[in-house]
Structure 1
Amino acid sequence: MKTNGEEDSRHIFRGELALVTAVMINSLAVIMMLYSGSGISAIFSVPYAFEKVFPVITLGTWTYIFQALLILSLMILRKKFVPAYLCSFLVGFAFSELLDVNEAWINILPKTIPLRVLYFVISYLLICIGIALSNRCGLP
């Protein structure tokens, strides 16, 4: 017979697994969306623009710099240190590093117009799946 503690730990583990999977899927989807030539979502537009202006620093690095500034501004506005924001930053850091990993290998894919359409469709579906998993593990 399962105790309540066992069920809780399984639920947490499934949530953590969903989070790791969502981070991996979303990072791939963002890079595929860029590679397809169809643009980028609004939240990544600032780090992407900085990466284009200052290409010495990668998109992933700009992403976690931008996220750190957002989290810092939230804490300043609330006038309170929120430990959960640090957890969010760690997840964002992992996401940012995976952006760089995926950006490193994506150029091996051919870039014909029909394939760009396919990359866009795949990235769109991946983002949908990643968002669904993020909601599953309690991320906003």
Structure 2
Amino acid sequence: MDKKITIPGEVSFVAGLLLVSIAISLMVIAGFGISTISSLPYVLSCIVKQISFGLWNPIFQIGLLLVLVAITRRFKSGYIISIVLSLLFGMILDFFMNALSGLPTEFWERILYFVSGYLIMCLAIALMVGSKIPLMIIDTFLNDLTIFFHVTYRRIKTLFDIICVVLSVIFSIVFLDQLVGVGIGTVILAFITGIGVHGLSTILSKVIIIKPWSSKLGEMVK
């Protein structure tokens, strides 16, 4: 049996952060709708154009963190890292949104962008989750609420997705007079992203081992 390659969790997470930024940018260009989590920040960026899509993401995530702290009445040291990561993600997302903005947009090319974005996003999530270091605020928000309310993760995630989509649709229609960020692609992603992440995680586990350099990072979110 071939020896597995060990990759530091910190490297895995950063790679995932870069890849998910590329994936979201490709899906925006494709125009078929983006993931439920990204839809609301994207709609807000279309309404308030002075604030970029990338910047709306940390604003949205920090808002979620404030809600989480208000509900649980607990602030973990790992939240500080999550805030820094959300700001970094926003900057990276803006970079790729600008870098890829000149891509051609024929129909078949848009389909290619969407499919590529989906595969890249699944790989990115697999790398980030496998890193075992403090996750993005959205992940922390969902995980901590699951523990606090003693319900399944799927129930919290489903409710969160529904709220994001409903708000995105309402804001789009009220402020933009058209549907923005939410489309058939959003529905498709809701059904197949989990499958794709699980499949790629299984494949990765056969060839690599992800282990953080710092054992303290994983403890900061507990």
Q: Tell me, yes or no, whether TM beats 0.5.
A: yes
Does residue 111 of structure 1 match 2:105? Answer: yes
Of 95, 101, 108, which residue of structure 2 is paired with 1:101? 95
Q: Could you tell me which of 118, 133, 139 is aligned with 2:127?
A: 133
Task: Look up the equivalent residue of 2:18 and give its one-letter code.
Answer: M
- In the alignment, which residue of structure 2 is the partner of 1:61? 55
Mapped pair 1:32 → 2:32? no
Per-residue Cα deviation, 1:85-131 (whole angstroms, up to 9, x for no partner): 12112111111111100111212211111111111111011001001
Query: Quick check: which one's helix share is greater?
Result: 1
Name the SS for the 1:107 alignment partner. coil
More divergent stretch after superposition (122-131 vs 72-81): 72-81
Say whether 1:23 aligns with 2:17: yes
Runs of 4+ in 1 over 4 A off after TM superposition: none
RCO (CA 8 Å, sep 6+): is it higher in 1 or 2?
1
Q: Count the aligned residue pairs.
A: 129
Alpha carbon RMSD of aligned pairs, Å?
Answer: 1.4
> Is the 8 Å Cα contact of residues 15 and 136 (structure 1) preserved in structure 2?
yes
Q: Which residue, 61, 73, 80 being the options, matches 1:79? A: 73
Q: Which amino acid aligns with 1:118?
A: L
TM-score by length of 2: 0.56
> Which residue of 46, 57, 73 maps to 1:52?
46
CA distance in structure 2 between the partners assigned to 1:71 and 1:86 by the alignment: 10
Unaligned runs of 5+ in 2: 1-5, 140-222
Q: Is the 8 A contact 1:35 1:116 kept in 2?
A: yes
Q: How far apart, CA to CA, are the structure 2 residues paired with 1:55 and 1:25?
A: 25
Q: Which runs of 5+ in 1 are unaligned?
A: 1-10
